[in-house]
Amino acid sequence: MTEVEDVPIRDDAIRLGQLLKLAGLVDDGAAARVAIESGQVSVDGDVVVRRGSQVRPGQVVAYAGRAVRVTGSP
C-alpha cells in the first residue's frame, strides 16, 4: 500500500490543482491541469477531472503512485 503524506492547508478547502502543486506532486499549474483533465488524479478513490474541484481536510488525493491526505492547519 502507498504511504500517505499529510499536507496541511490554511483554509476550509483547496482547489485540486492548487493542492497538487502545494504537495509537490506536479511542478506547475499546467502540469496539474493535464494530470487532472486526463483522468490521472483521484480523490478518495474516485477519478476527478475538474481542476477547480474543492478538496477538504480528511480527503486523500492520489496521483502518479503517491497519495496525500489534506489536513487542517497545524
pLDDT of 73: 75
pLDDT tens, position by position, 9-18 = 999 999 999 9
Q: Does residue 68 have a pLDDT over 80?
A: yes
- Higher local confidence (pLDDT), 32 or 73: 32
Distances (CA, A) of 48 to 28, 43, 74: 18, 7, 27
pTM as predicted = 0.92
What dotted CATH number matches 4-71? 3.10.290.10
In tens, the pLDDT along 26-54 reads: 999 999 999 999 999 999 999 999 988 99
| Burial class (CB within 10 angstroms; exposed 0-12, middle 13-18, buried 19+) of 11 | exposed
AA identity, residue 67: A
- Boundaries of every domain in the chain: 4-71
